[in-house]
Amino acid sequence: METVHTVVDSPLGPLTLVRTADAVSGLYMDQQRHLPDSTRFGARVDAGFDGVTSQLAEYFRGERTAFTVPIAPDGTEFQRRVWAALRTIPYGARWTYRQLAEHLGHPAAIRAVAAANGRNPIGIIVPCHRVVGSDGSLTGYAGGLERKRYLLDLENPYPPGTQDGLF
């Protein structure tokens, strides 16, 4: 399987999109924590990313609430289960790490769930930004807390306790 990448502009700064075969295998922000070695991104190309770039543009314009591009995140079985669960969090909602662990049937695995969440290789599309601390605080986002706040505000501009249904 050939891996290739491209870089696109976004309201969050440059995003590196990585494709393996016909699926997105990475979406990374500039200066993101847990950023893989860029040699794993393959050659830089401009073609073949139209679907994901158009869906991202729609998302940032507030016109898209779910992504339908094929994804292929590389991780352990547990990490892939966490990342799949993240995709069930509704647009505009916020879950706590505890809620995510309970959703997975592992209520005592909060730290393991949080660690897997932090290693998500396909940010935004796999919405790890929708997970917050037990008190609703913004905690641990590999792309930085300013970007997490931006994404949460984009999806739900109402303050906690009004329209988001969690706090």
Q: Catalytic positions, please?
A: 128
CB 15 within 8 A of CB 27: yes
Q: Which letter, b or e, does each residue of 13-36 get, where b requires 16 or more Cβ atoms within 10 Å of its Cβ? A: eebbbbbbeeebbbbbbeebeeee
Give residues with Cβ within 8 angstroms of 126, minimum separation 6: 71, 73, 83, 86, 87, 120
Tokens of 136: 């609703």
